[in-house]
Structure formats: structure tokens, C-alpha cells
Chains A and B, each alone.
Chain A
């Protein structure tokens, strides 16, 4: 009896398994196809930047193969890294980005906690409202914001325009809504019983946030941090508008303002600057990716 059952079950199971694995194989092939295209598209610009950064100005303007370095030189790197101006841009960028990340996290994490857990009148509306603000393109906002800060400066006498720290105040308007939204999502995925257990264990709301929610939602927190850092590091339009003096510029604006003189483009140094500018976010990604693993809530509940 049992032998017959096995005989019957055998082939049918095998066929089914075979069809699944064939589907998977095709899915895999297609994913590799698109991944390869994606990799090429995203790697070509940085490779071109790297190649160009290793060339002298003469070689760049010479009509040789642009994808090959015939006389590699580090002169662009040496010139930039020994220029006080470039180091100022770099320092300004770092300061702005770190401060923006701190401010963003200090606002958006408690905000997200309050909106997702401490149900109060209008909390759902506010949560949606926060998301809607993110949908407004920042290019629409820079003029009114500039006007606002200029007027505020005139009234109070506090210098804001053409100061690097104005960016620390401006950027959170871009980062806070999105980071709050991300964190609301992460906090919402934490089972309700977890905060109830903490509250019964004697934790206050603040302790529940710091000792349970933040450690459990660490992947979300890191995602939000990366986002805030990237936005403030790479922002181009706002620093171009809000800052003009070379000692107040951040890197993206600084490279463009100082390395393009009239119609003379110092391509070698522009590419070197762009490459050096891209390094910090890359390093931060690489460092945080180790922690950026989902599934930290595993084991909390039945799941």
C-alpha cells in the first residue's frame, strides 16, 4: 500500500519541482540581464570620472581615446588636496551634513514614534500631511525660502544669507518629512504588544522609544540616516542659491563655482573633486550596510 503511494507521489512531485525550478532559472536569467545593464549604466560615469581625473589638462583636451590614460598623473589630486579652498568646501559639507543628520534624527524619530504609537486626535492626518510635504519639489521652494530667510535676516539682524549654517536650517525641511515617513513605517511594523510589554514592565514613553523602539527599528534608522546624509551632502541648488562667498560654500557648489572660470572648464580637477566628493557617502554606505539588515524583530512574536 505504502509503496504504491510513494510511486504515485514521486513523479508528480518531481514534475512540479521541475517546473518551479525552471521558472526560477528564467527569473534568474532575466534578473542578471537587467542587473548587468544597470551596472554598466551606473558604473560608466564614475569610471569616466576616474579616468579623466588621472589625466593632465593637455591630455584631456588632446584628441586621444577618452577611455584610456596614456600618461597617468596625480597632479589634479595634489592640486585639490593642497588647496585650502577645496578643504574648506569639504569641511563645510561635512559639518552641514552631520548637523543636518543629527537635527533630522532628533526631530523625525520622536515625531514618528508619536505619530505611529501615541494615538492622539489628528495623528493620522498629520502623518499624511508630512508625506504630502515631501511630494512638493524642492525646486519650487527655494525662492520663497530664500525670501523668507532674507526677510528674517533683515528684521532680526541675524546674518543668514551667504552663511554655511543657513543650510543646516534649510535642509531639514527636505529631510525631516521623508525620514519621519520612513520611521513611521518601521515603527508601525513593531508589534503593539512590544510597547505594551514595556509599559507594563514600567517603561515610560521615552524609555520605550529609546530602549525598545530605536534598537528594534535600527535598520530603519540607518536607512533614514543614509537618506538624510545623502540629501544634504549632494544638494546642489540650495547652496548655489543661499551661499556665494568661497569660504561659505559646500562641495558641490564650490567645485562648480571655483573650477569653472567663465567658459574655461578645469575638467581634470572637476572630475577629481566630484570623485573625492562621492567618497564619504560611499564610505558611510559601506560601513552602515553591515548594520542595515532587516529582520531585527525576528523572535519578538510568533511571526
Chain B
């Protein structure tokens, strides 16, 4: 096991910069998830750590050693691919032991490691089957088993659950977390699914356009996003962004959304945003769960307003309402007991304690 460090890592393809100078330190045992939209450079970064892609600039260290020019087989890493990449002509046991057999481990040890990994992944019964006789979830377990038996310094996962159906994905997510809790190997996991990122990671690295937008534990990213991209990417449904301005109102501050709607800021927020220019174009960031029905939203930090929902989405334990305000479509989450109907005005409340204010031009959270 080992720590992984990236120092100003750059990847260029001809004239395109896929990864633009990434700095990242992953301590031993940590589970880090690289998340971002497709084309953000997350997979390229992982492949550079694996050694499957050359590094154009910068350094990658595994266990304190620079591995820029070390071939993948000498990096002591194991990788799980999105499409499993099992060797089709080998049985499950042969697939899992392939790496160990290449390194000429004693037969007894190979058998013991394979048996143990198979037990951990609950695939003991499948050990003599060929990959084509397995289901998608079973294949992905075997792919994980192949990584585990090697007992590598680092696990690399490249969107391992993307090919599975939704239910299996949730199940395998839990399996992966369990395995990591047992083996504690440093793990770098790439996904475009922010739910996977949130649920699995010790720390999440949000990437966009080849750069790191923010690094932090899941809850920190959720509650204290640094940029509009992170705020919008983490959380489902996504955060609402409403164009607004700050203005003085009788000794305190308020955010003006439209000619008719303005919310006075809670005291601590007023102090925080006091220095912001009154002319700056801002965005008010509010998560759907902080726009609630007026009955649920009782308290000093809540401000009520009227809106006419045009779409209602009942989810069972909650109901999402979509409504236009000041030219933007917003999403709120109301008590499922409320009889909300499309086209019928509804009294809603916003919880300004959880508001974010963003600079519209720079995308930075203030």
C-alpha cells in the first residue's frame, strides 16, 4: 500500500490539452473518487497513474517514487475496467491468478489468495466458469477479484459500474465499499456519476476541462462548493441558480431576484456579503431541498414567496416541484402530503441559511 501524488501533471494530445496541470496528494488507505463530465480528463488522469498513457509534463509518484517512466507492470497497481476486460479463454480462477502466475508465485499461495478473494466477493461457486457464463455483476466481481489477489499498492477503477443496471450498480457500490473497508488499499476511482462519488469517496476530486475544480470530503463539496460547476454538479436534482443583486435595505442586506421578490439576508450572511459590490451580477444558489412548502419552512431564516409550478414530480418520500421565477426554471422539494398541482399557485419558502452567492462572471462562490 502506498500514497499517490500528482505534481503538475499535464497530458497533451497533439494540440489538445486533456489534463492541464493537476496537483493531487492521496494518502495511504484513502479512497479518492475523480468525478466530472465526460471529456474532463478524469479517465486520462487515471490511465496516466496506471501507466497506460504517457505523461506530457509533471510527475506522478507512487509510494514516494517517481513512476513517470516505470512501465505499468512494475508500478504494482491493479485496475478494474468499465467493460471488465476478462480473459475470455480462461476460467474465473485463471483470470484472477493470471498476474500471480506471470510473477511465478508458488501454486499454494496462488490458490490461497484466489480462494480468499473469491470468498470475499462471494464468487466461490463460479471459480471454474468461463466469463461468458457469468452475468454482468458477476463479471465485475471477477474483475475486482483479479485486482484484489495481486495485493497491489494501488487500486484503480475506471467507471467500473457504468455497464451495470441501476439496481446492480447500487449493490456493487456497497460491495466495493465493503472490500475497501477490508483491504484498505489506496484507491483511485473514476466515475461520471456524482452519486457514486458521494457514496464511495473519502475525498472527491471534481474535475472539469482538464483541471481540478475542488477537492474535499463529500459533505464539504455538497455544503461548501467552491465554484458554480461543483455546486451544480454535486447533488441531484442540481442546485438552482437565480440571477440576483445585493442591495441595502434599512441597515441590512437583501438579495433582489425580481422587481417583486427580494429576500432579506440572515445576519451572518449579511456580514459575509457586506463587502460585495452592489453592481456585481450575482447568482443565488439554492438546493431544491432548501426551497420547501411554506408549512414546512417555518423559522427566522425562511422567506416565503408565491410560485406557480408547471411540473410536479412525486417521488414517494418527497415531491419535486418545478416553477419559473425571474426567467429561470427552479426546482423545489415539498412535503409529499401537500396537494400541489401544475398551474395552481403555491406558497413556498426558501431557507436562506443554506444559500450560496456566486459571482456570475467568474463562477466563484463568494
Which of B81, B98, B134, B163 touches A299 (beta carbons < 8 Å)?
A: B134
Residue from the set A194, A197, A211, A298 with the largest chain B CB neighbour count within 10 Å: A197
Do B50 and A299 touch across chains, with their CB atoms under 8 A apart?
A: no
Which of A201, A207, A300 touches B88 (beta carbons < 8 Å)?
A: A300
A193 within 8 A of B: yes
Do A199 and B88 touch across chains, with their CB atoms under 8 A apart?
A: no
Do A299 and B139 touch across chains, with their CB atoms under 8 A apart?
A: yes
Q: How near does chain A come to B285, taking the closest CB pair, in angstroms?
A: 38
Chain A binder among B125-133, B228-236, B249-257:
B125-133
Number of A-B contacts (CB under 8 A): 87
Chain A binder among B71-79, B204-212, B328-336:
B71-79
Given contacts A199-B73, A201-B99, A216-B89, contact A299 B78 (CB under 8 A): no
Do A201 and B132 touch across chains, with their CB atoms under 8 A apart?
A: no
Q: How near does chain B come to A137, taking the closest CB pair, in angstroms?
A: 38
Query: Chain B interface: which size bin?
Result: 20 to 34
Q: How near does chain A come to B133, taking the closest CB pair, in angstroms?
A: 7
Q: Which residues of B contact A297 (CB under 8 A)?
A: 88
Do A296 and B85 touch across chains, with their CB atoms under 8 A apart?
A: no
B344 within 8 A of A: no
A302 within 8 A of B: yes
A203 within 8 A of B: yes
Over the window 130-168 of chain B, the binary record of Cβ atoms lying under 8 Å from chain A Cβ atoms (1 yes, 0 no) is 111110100100000010001000000000000100000
Identify the closest chain B residue to A295 (Cβ): B132
Per the 8 Å Cβ criterion, residues 76-125 of B in contact with A are 77-79, 81-89, 98-99, 102-103
Q: Which residues of B contact A203 (CB under 8 A)?
A: 73, 98, 102
Do B132 and A299 touch across chains, with their CB atoms under 8 A apart?
A: yes
A200 within 8 A of B: yes
B195 within 8 A of A: no
Q: Tell me the bound Cα distance from A237 to B266 in angstroms.
A: 96
Per the 8 Å Cβ criterion, residues 195-209 of A in contact with B are 196-204, 207
Identify the closest chain B residue to A212 (Cβ): B87
Q: Tell me the bound Cα distance from A302 to B77 in angstroms.
A: 23
A280 within 8 A of B: no
Per the 8 Å Cβ criterion, residues 252-303 of A in contact with B are 296-302
Q: Which residues of A contact B72 (CB under 8 A)?
A: 196, 199-200
A215 within 8 A of B: yes
Do B133 and A299 touch across chains, with their CB atoms under 8 A apart?
A: yes
Q: How near does chain B come to A207, taking the closest CB pair, in angstroms?
A: 7
Residue from the set A194, A203, A218, A299 with the largest chain B CB neighbour count within 10 Å: A299
Q: Tell me the bound Cα distance from A201 to B98 in angstroms.
A: 7
Q: Which residues of B contact A200 (CB under 8 A)?
A: 50-52, 72-73, 77-79, 99
Q: Tell me the bound Cα distance from A207 to B79 in angstroms.
A: 18
Residue from the set A198, A201, A203 with the largest chain B CB neighbour count within 10 Å: A201
Q: How near does chain A come to B280, taking the closest CB pair, in angstroms?
A: 48
Do B83 and A301 touch across chains, with their CB atoms under 8 A apart?
A: yes
A66 within 8 A of B: no
Which of A207, A218, A300 touches B131 (beta carbons < 8 Å)?
A: A300
Q: How near does chain B come to A114, taking the closest CB pair, in angstroms?
A: 17
Identify the closest chain B residue to A301 (Cβ): B83
A72 within 8 A of B: no
Identify the closest chain A residue to B86 (Cβ): A300
Which of A204, A298, A300, A302 touches B87 (beta carbons < 8 Å)?
A: A300
Q: How near does chain A come to B205, taking the closest CB pair, in angstroms?
A: 22
A191 within 8 A of B: yes
Q: How near does chain A come to B172, taking the closest CB pair, in angstroms?
A: 14
Q: Which residues of A contact B98 (CB under 8 A)?
A: 198, 201, 203, 211
Identify the closest chain B residue to A190 (Cβ): B88
Q: Tell me the bound Cα distance from A203 to B104 in angstroms.
A: 12
Over the window 235-254 of chain B, the binary record of Cβ atoms lying under 8 Å from chain A Cβ atoms (1 yes, 0 no) is 00000000000000000000
Q: Tell me the bound Cα distance from A200 to B103 in angstroms.
A: 12
Q: Point out residues on B near A: beta carbons under 8 Å.
A: 50-52, 71-73, 77-79, 81-89, 98-99, 102-103, 130-134, 136, 139, 146, 150, 163
A-B contact pairs, 21 of them (CB 8 A): A193-B81, A194-B85, A196-B52, A196-B72, A196-B79, A197-B81, A197-B86, A197-B87, A198-B98, A199-B72, A201-B150, A202-B102, A204-B73, A216-B89, A299-B130, A299-B131, A300-B84, A300-B86, A301-B85, A302-B84, A302-B163
Q: Point out residues on A near B: beta carbons under 8 Å.
A: 191, 193-194, 196-204, 207, 211-212, 215-216, 218, 296-302
List 8 other contacts, CB 8 Å, given A201-B150, A207-B102, A216-B87: A193-B81, A196-B81, A199-B71, A200-B77, A216-B88, A298-B88, A299-B88, A299-B131
